[in-house]
Structure 1
Amino acid sequence: MSQNTDYDTFAEDYSKENESSLMNQYYERPAMLKLAGNVRHRKILDAGCGSGPLTEALLERGAHVSGFDSSQGMINLATKRVGDAAELFVADLGQPLPFADDSFDDVVASLVFHYLPDWSSALQEIRRVLRPGGRLIMSVNHPILYPWTNPGQDYFKLTKYSDDHSFNGQPAILTYWHRPLHAMSDAFAKAGFGIEVISEPPYSTEAPAELVPDRLKERDAFISFIFFVLRAP
C-alpha cells in the first residue's frame, strides 16, 4: 500500500469493515479467488496483503503464501490472523523484494496498484519473482469511476485524487491515482505481461440483502473495480 495513505492510523477499523462489507467480502475477494482458481500447492505472494483476509483464504485452499504490506499495523493484524502459516513482512510495492528470481507461481495484488503513481518498477519486480508462465492476478479501481464521480475531469490524464471514507465509523482519507485503461495495458505490455483475462464481475449472490443498496437490488453487477489475470512469459 502506498505511503500516500497512512493505514497505520486506522488499520483495525479498516480491517473490521473489510471483513463483512459488500465491496470486499461479497465482491472483490470472491472475484479474486475465482480468478485464482485451484491454488493447491501453488506458491503465492500476496502483494499489499493488508490484514490478511486474502492470505487466509488462499491458505485455506492449500496454497503456500507469503505476504507483505507497507503498513506495520496491517502486518500485525495479518500475523494475528494467520500466525506463522504465512511469511509476512513490511515492504513497499515497487521496491526490491527479498526473494530470488522465479520464486512464485502466482502474485495476487488486491486493490493496491491504484495507490501507485508509476507502475513500472512494481510490475518489473513482480515479473522478476514470478516463475516463467506465472500469473499476476490483480484488482484496481475501475478507470471509469474517477471521471464518472467527478464530472468534467479528463479520463485520459493521470490524476492524483483523494476520497473521504468511513471504516467501522472512523473517518479516513485514501489517496489514489487514476489512469485510463490503455495506460494500464501499456504498463503490462512494457513489463512483459500478456493479458489473459479482464473481468468486471457481479457481486456474490451470498451477499446479505441488507448490505445491497436499494438501487442495486434489481441488478447482479455494478462497476467499482476491474480485475486482470496477467501471464508472465
Structure 2
Amino acid sequence: MKKNIDTEEAMIRWDSFAESYAANHSDQGDAHKEVLLNPTLFSLMGTVEHKKVLDAGCGEGYFSRLLAKSDAIVTAVDYSQKMIELAKHRTPDEFSIKYYQGNCEDLHFLVDSRFDIIVSNMVMQDLENVEKAFREMYRLLVDGGTFVFSILHPCFVTPESGWVKDDYGNKLHWKVDQYFYEGVYEQRFGDEEKVLLFHRTLTTYINTLLTIGFRLEKITEPKPTQAMLKKYPSFEEDFRCADFVVFKLKK
C-alpha cells in the first residue's frame, strides 16, 4: 500500500497499457462486464432512448457504443488521452458520440444540469478524490436525473484480498483483509503493470453521496444468470462472494 498518490498517477498507468486493455474488450466489454455489469447497469438506468447520457470514465468506449445503439444522446469522458483515441477509432461513423479527455473529479468544460443520466462503469475506485467526482456528477445532472455507477465491491475487494487455495490449486475461500484502510493500493491488471486503486469503506461511499444531496434508490450486487452460466461456466464461483456493487441514485 502506498501513500500520497493522486488520480493523475493512477491514470498515467492506465494510459500506459490502454492498448492491451482495449484488446481485451469486445463490443460487450470483457467477460465480467458482459455477464454481470452490463445487464445491471441497463436495468438500473431504465430507458435511455433520446436521453442525454454521460459515460463518465468511458475507457475504450464499448459502453458508450452500447448506449448509442440504444438511441441515447451520448457524451463520453475519460482521463486517459490514449483511451479516448481508441474509443474514437472504435466508434462507427453513424454514432455521433462526443468524446472528451477529462478527469471526472473536474469536468468544468461541461455545463451544469446537462444530463438526464450519468453512468460510470468501474471508474470511481480509480479516483483519489471521489467526493469531488460525486459533486461533479451532481452538478451535471438535471433535477430528478439518474446517476448509476459500478465499483469493485469494497467489502470483498480490499487491499490484500484474494482466494485462499489448497495444495492442488482448489479455491477454499475468499480472504478479506485491511477493510478499514482507506487509501491507495496496487493491483495487477493481467500481465501488465499494476493499476492503482483507491479503497474506501461502504460507509464512506454511501455517506458521501447522501451528504452531497443524492437520494439512494437501489443497490445491486450482480450475480450471473443461468443463461450466462451456460456460456461462461467459470462464473459459478461468483455465487460465493460479490465482485461488484452497483448504485442507483437520484438528484
TM-score class, shorter-chain normalisation, is 0.7 to 0.9
Instruction: Find out whether 1:16 has 2:23 as its counterpart.
Output: yes
Larger Rg computed on CA atoms = 2
Q: TM-score, normalised on structure 1?
A: 0.88
In 1, distance between residues paired with 2:154 and 2:17? 26
What is the total number of aligned residue pairs between the two structures? 227
1:99 maps to amino acid: L
CA contact under 8 A between 1:18 and 1:24: conserved in structure 2?
no
Shift, 1:61, TM fit: 0.7
User: Within the alignment, does 1:89 sit opposite 2:95 as a pair?
Assistant: no
Q: 1:203 aligns with which of 213, 224, 236?
A: 224
Q: Compute the TM-score of the two structures, normalised by the length of structure 2.
A: 0.82
Match of residue 246 from structure 2: 227
Conserved? CA contact 1:18–1:25, under 8 Å? no
Q: Does 1:127 align with 2:159?
A: no
Could you report, residue by residue, the CA deviation over 1:25-70 in whole angstroms, capped at 9, with x for unpaired residues? 2222222122112110100010000011110111111100000101
Which residue is 1:111 aligned to?
122
Question: Aligned partners of 1:119, 1:16: CA distance in 2, in Å?
Answer: 28
Letter in 2 for 1:128: R
Q: Is the 8 A contact 1:3 1:70 kept in 2?
A: no
Secondary structure at the residue paired with 2:36? Answer: helix
| Counterpart residue number, 1:217 | 236
Q: Residue in 1 aligned with 2:88?
A: 79
In structure 1, what residue type is equivalent to 2:16? Answer: T
Which residue in 2 is equivalent to 1:157?
181
Q: Describe the shift of the 1:218–1:121 C-alpha distance in structure 2 as closer, same or farther (beyond 3 A).
A: closer
Query: 1:206, 1:2 → 2: CA distance?
Result: 40
Structure 1, unmatched stretches of 5+, are: none
Unaligned runs of 5+ in 2: 1-6, 163-174
Q: Aligned-residue CA RMSD in angstroms? A: 2.3
Tell me the distance in 1 between the aligned counterparts of 2:240 and 2:232: 14
Output the CA distance in 2 between the equivalents of 1:212 and 1:39. Answer: 31
- Assess if the C-alpha contact under 8 Å between 1:22 and 1:207 holds in 2: no
* Alignment-derived partner of residue 150 in structure 2: 139
Q: Which residue of 1 aligns with 2:10?
A: 4
